[in-house]
Amino acid sequence: DTGVSQDPRHKITKRGQNVTFRCDPISEHNRLYWYRQTLGQGPEFLTYFQNEAQLEKSRLLSDRFSAERPKGSFSTLEIQRTEQGDSAMYLCASSIMTGPQETQYFGPGTRLLVL
Amino acid sequence: DAKTTQPNSMESNEEEPVHLPCNHSTISGTDYIHWYRQLPSQGPEYVIHGLTSNVNNRMASLAIAEDRKSSTLILHRATLRDAAVYYCILREVNSGGSNYKLTFGKGTLLTVNP
């Protein structure tokens, strides 16, 4: 079991550029989540997928953000026209729906710095 | 999700027990109590969860008050590797019979002294 992996681990970009992050969940996990964490705060929910369907998006996910999970396996999170306020750790988690209290397994995150 | 209240920080000595409190006075009957922790430079990891009864696993114990308005995560012998931010989270079962997102607060930063 290789766990949840995220790529890249760090990204520095200039304001206005587009960035894309990738998340590879634990194989056979049908749920995949994206969270964002800023310094000193707990992670905040952004969106989640069940298989390839995106079932909920947070208000935090502005129209500059888009997430996909095309074949129900890996997922990408794209931020267009980045702003300095987008600087944060972006965390991916996956789970398998075994009941109402399934455990989420988190990746190490992608740290984004927008200059 | 209902809100939880945790101390901002706590300190412990290595090999001593640690009791991390969490208040959740507005908890509803269907809310489960979950604990996750986040080690430095890592994503959160699951620790334990419970509904009404006390729970034990290899990482920790969860003691739930009889009225369920508070709970305590117990680390029986703290090690330096237990230094982390500990999050107490309430997860409710939605009308569809399942839940999904975790709603994190700021958690408790646990420092373990050698």
Residues of A in contact with B41 (CB under 8 A): 108
pLDDT for residue A72 is more than 90: no
All residues of chain A having their beta carbon less than 8 Å from the beta carbon of residue B86 are none
B68 shares contact with chain A (CB less than 8 Å): no
First to last CA, chain A: 36
- Confidence band (pLDDT; 50, 70, 90) for B29? confident
What are the chain B neighbours of A42 within 8 Å (beta carbons)?
85, 87, 104-107
pLDDT at residue B99 above 80? no
pLDDT band at A107, cuts 50/70/90?
very high
* Mean pLDDT value across chain B: 92
pLDDT bucket at B84, cuts 50 / 70 / 90: very high
- Residue B58, CA distances (Å) to A3, A15, A90, B34 in order: 20, 46, 29, 15
Q: Which of A104-108, B30-34, B91-95 ranks highest by mean pLDDT? A: A104-108
**DSSP alpha helices (H): ranges in B5-110?**
none
Q: Mean of the pLDDT values across residues A45-58?
A: 92
| Predicted confidence band of residue A26 (pLDDT cuts 50, 70, 90) | very high
Which of A80, A71, A90 minimizes the C-alpha distance to A33? A90
The answer to whether B1 faces chain A, any CB pair under 8 Å, is no
Residue B93 has pLDDT above 90, yes or no: no
